[in-house]
Amino acid sequence: MDERDQNLVTELRKDGKATLTGIKRVTNIPISTLHEHFGKLACITRFVTLIDFVKVGFPVRRMYAADLKRALPDDLLNSPNINTLSQLSRGGDVFIDALFKTAAEADAFEEALERVAKHVQVIHVLTELKREAFLTDSKHWIFPE
């Protein structure tokens, strides 16, 4: 990835709705070049809106690290409460980021998870201190040797 691609990705990480004209103003890269590079970037998988979940009625956020005995059943796998589900380095380990309207809903989810897991670690998230900040600054592309 060359420096122009990095600058384009950085500006899009800062604001996914940024226009090529706006990015040109910040980067001094011609719009035609930006358009060409944007079309070739394979690293952008989709654009999403970041939501304040508390403001839309989901004040309870929990993260779970679970060592599963067997695969997650469909009702858990397809739970609308799961924001992110990640497979961890060991075979049966998963990490779940989930949001709920009430603590009772979270507790019910946790009980269902415990039925299919050898061990569940629950992390209660109080406040997000930093979110989606990686690669939002050109300095992020400079790694020590």
Dist CA 63 CA 46 (whole Å): 24
Neighbours of 109 (CB within 10 A): 20
Q: Are residues 67 and 26 in the same domain?
A: no
Q: Are residues 65 and 43 in the same domain?
A: no
Number of structural domains the chain divides into: 2
**Signed CA dihedral, 18, 19, 22, 27: sign only:** positive
Domain range for 16 is 3-48
Q: Are residues 76 and 120 in the same domain?
A: yes
Whole-structure pTM value: 0.75
Q: pLDDT (tens digit, 9 = 90+) per residue, 67-101?
A: 988 877 788 888 999 999 998 877 668 999 999 99
Q: How much of the chain exceeds pLDDT 70, in percent?
A: 97
pLDDT on residue 142: 79
